[in-house]
Structures are given as structure tokens and as C-alpha cells.
């Protein structure tokens, strides 16, 4: 059996994950026009060869180059959610926001904001402090969050375009 980088399909997957860290198996499969079994097999081989790392969040697996730190993986997994991405970016740029400040600034419902803040608090990406009885939120690593966003921001734009295209195509069908 060839070493992972020497096998053409594995090289394709490694190259894709290098430019789209945090991609799911389904995203890798669709983007590279591979079969599902083929994708699953090669991902597993790359993990066993220590060329990729798999991180599980919720019910989904995310794939990263082997050299990514656990902290960077947590940030990029949170970035997969548009809501958590905007929350992390807001708290990185404007720390010490109250729940009401965030709700008004981002125009989110109380329940929606609460759900995503809980995920970010549990992941350790967002911290909480109390000032005169008012809870204030902040990003734990604001500089790194902004740096990772700057490097990989293009990878999330395609998903929105794909979703828009799929929705628009559905509307336009006879």
C-alpha cells in the first residue's frame, strides 16, 4: 500500500483539508466528487497514518491537517456555524458585551443567542465575567480568532453560495 501522500485520492483529500480545515467528510466528498465509500476509506487511512486529525462536535466529524492545535480546531469548528462565527468575531472585536448588548447588536432572539453562547462557553472559546451583577462575555483568544478568520474566511463563503443556489434552484423548478 502506498504512503498516504503518494496515493492520488489521498493527496486530493490532504490538499483540500489543508485549504479547508474543519471540513466534514460529506463536504470533502462533494467538493472532490468522490464516492462516499471511497471518501470514508481514504479519510480513515489518512487518520491512521497520522496525516489528518478528526475532531467530533455534536454528531459531526471535522477533519484537520495533523499539525493543527486543539485550540485552533475548536475555533474552526465553531466557525462552521454562522451564528457562532459572528458571535466569536463580535466578542473578539468588542469584548465585555452583555447578553442584551449582543442580542440588540446582532438582532438575535434570546433563545437563539442563549443556545449558541452556551456552546461557546462550554467549548472554552468564550469567557464570562460579572460586573455589578451584569454578565459580560468575551472571546478567550481574540487575536487568534481574528487571525484564523482572516486566513480561512473564504472557506465559509462557498457554503452560503451553495445554499443560496440550492434554494434558488428549488424555487425556479417548474
pLDDT at 97 (0 to 100)? 92
As a three-state string, the secondary structure of 88-108 is HHHHHHCCCEEHHHHHHHHCC
Tell me the percentage of the chain whose pLDDT exceeds 70.
Answer: 87
Q: Is residue 50 a part of any domain in this protein?
A: yes
pLDDT at 81 (0 to 100)? 87
pLDDT at 2 (0 to 100)? 45
| Residue 55 and residue 87 in one domain | no
Q: Is residue 42 a part of any domain in this protein?
A: yes
Q: Is residue 55 a part of any domain in this protein?
A: yes
HSE-up (13 A, CA, CB side) for residue 102: 30
What is the average pLDDT value for the chain, to the nearest integer? Answer: 86
pLDDT at 4 (0 to 100)? 52
| Residue 6 and residue 33 in one domain | yes
| Residue 91 and residue 122 in one domain | yes
Residue 139 CB: number of other CB atoms within 10 A?
23
| Residue 90 and residue 136 in one domain | yes
Q: Is residue 161 a part of any domain in this protein?
A: no
| Residue 56 and residue 38 in one domain | yes
Spatial distance between the Cα atoms of 57 and 84, rounded to a whole number of angstroms: 13
Q: What is the mean pLDDT of residues 32-45?
A: 94
pTM score over 0.85: no
pLDDT at 100 (0 to 100)? 92
Q: What is the pLDDT of residues 66-121, one digit of tens each?
A: 999 999 999 999 998 888 999 999 999 999 999 999 999 889 899 999 999 999 99
Query: Which residue, 22, 51, 68, sits at the end of a domain?
Result: 68
Q: What is the CATH number of the domain that holds 130?
A: 1.10.10.10
pLDDT at 1 (0 to 100)? 45
Q: What is the mean pLDDT of residues 15-40?
A: 94
- Residue 11: which domain range? 1-68
pLDDT at 3 (0 to 100)? 52
- pLDDT at residue 161 greater than cutoff 80: no
Decide: residue 147, CB within 10 A, 0-12 exposed, 13-18 middle, 19+ buried. Answer: middle
| Residue 101 and residue 51 in one domain | no
Please tell me the total count of domains within the chain: 2
Q: Which residue has the higher pLDDT, 58 or 30?
A: 30
pLDDT at 157 (0 to 100)? 60
pLDDT at 113 (0 to 100)? 93
| Residue 3 and residue 48 in one domain | yes
pLDDT at 169 (0 to 100)? 46
Q: Is residue 171 a part of any domain in this protein?
A: no
Amino acid at each position: 500500500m502506498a504512503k498516504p501522500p503518494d496515493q492520488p485520492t489521498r493527496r486530493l483529500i490532504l490538499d483540500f483539508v489543508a485549504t479547508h480545515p474543519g471540513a466534514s467528510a460529506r463536504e470533502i466528498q462533494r467538493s472532490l466528487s468522490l464516492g462516499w465509500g471511497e471518501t470514508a476509506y481514504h479519510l480513515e487511512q489518512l487518520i491512521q497514518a497520522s496525516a489528518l486529525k478528526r475532531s467530533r462536535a455534536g454528531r459531526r466529524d471535522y477533519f484537520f491537517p495533523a499539525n493543527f492545535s486543539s485550540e485552533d480546531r475548536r475555533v474552526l469548528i465553531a466557525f462552521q456555524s454562522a451564528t457562532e462565527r459572528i458571535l466569536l468575531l463580535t466578542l473578539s472585536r468588542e469584548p465585555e458585551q452583555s447578553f442584551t448588548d449582543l442580542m440588540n447588536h446582532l438582532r438575535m432572539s434570546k433563545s437563539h443567542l442563549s443556545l449558541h453562547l452556551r456552546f461557546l462557553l462550554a467549548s472554552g472559546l468564550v469567557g464570562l465575567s460579572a460586573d455589578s451583577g451584569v454578565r459580560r462575555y468575551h472571546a478567550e483568544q481574540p487575536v487568534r480568532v481574528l487571525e484564523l478568520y482572516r486566513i480561512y474566511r473564504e472557506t465559509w463563503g462557498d457554503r452560503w453560495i451553495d445554499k443560496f443556489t440550492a434554494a434558488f434552484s428549488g424555487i425556479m423548478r417548474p
